[in-house]
């Protein structure tokens, strides 16, 4: 069974701070997605990374896929209260299904 680990599990920071959250596995994935989920709603796709070493930017969010396609990081610059939510990474298990990590719960305080 492929497993994804995410760290930290919880993160509480002040508005304006920078942060990085991590997604790690011992397995290789064909692609990896990051989602954000808010209370009472379903996860919303933020980005997909496919190539080892790939870096993608989405406004203040920077996503990186590890060279070996086993891990990924999400860096947020100048966090805002609107960034609060559960950040989930999901690995594409070569077409069989998508494996989700347990998530990092981020709270950005004004």
Residues forming the site for another protein (CB under 8 A): 6, 30-31, 33, 35, 40-45, 48, 88, 90, 92, 94-103, 105
Please, what is the minimum distance in Å from the beta carbon of residue 39 to another protein? Answer: 10
Q: Which is nearer to another protein, 22 or 100 (CB)?
A: 100
Looking at the DSSP bridge assignments, the partners of residue 34 are: 47, 89
Residue 91 dihedral angles phi and psi, to the nearest 5°: -100, 140
Please, what is the minimum distance in Å from the beta carbon of residue 2 to another protein? Answer: 10
Pairwise CA distance, residues 46 & 36, whole Å:
7
Please, what is the minimum distance in Å from the beta carbon of residue 16 to another protein? Answer: 27
The set of residues, in sequence order, having a beta carbon less than 8 Å from that of 2 and lying 6+ positions away, is 25, 27, 29, 91, 93, 99
Q: Which is nearer to another protein, 1 or 110 (CB)?
A: 1
């Amino acid at each position: 069974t492929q497993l994804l680990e995410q760290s930290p599990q919880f993160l509480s920071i002040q508005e304006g701070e920078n942060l990085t959250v991590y997604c790690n596995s011992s397995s290789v994935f064909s692609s990896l997605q990051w989602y954000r989920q808010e209370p009472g709603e379903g996860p919303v796709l933020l980005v997909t990374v496919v190539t080892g070493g790939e870096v993608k930017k989405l406004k203040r969010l920077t996503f990186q896929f590890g060279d070996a396609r086993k891990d990924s990081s999400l860096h947020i610059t100048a966090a805002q209260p609107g960034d609060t939510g559960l950040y989930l990474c999901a690995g594409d298990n070569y077409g069989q299904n998508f494996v989700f990590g347990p998530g990092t719960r981020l709270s950005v305080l004004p």
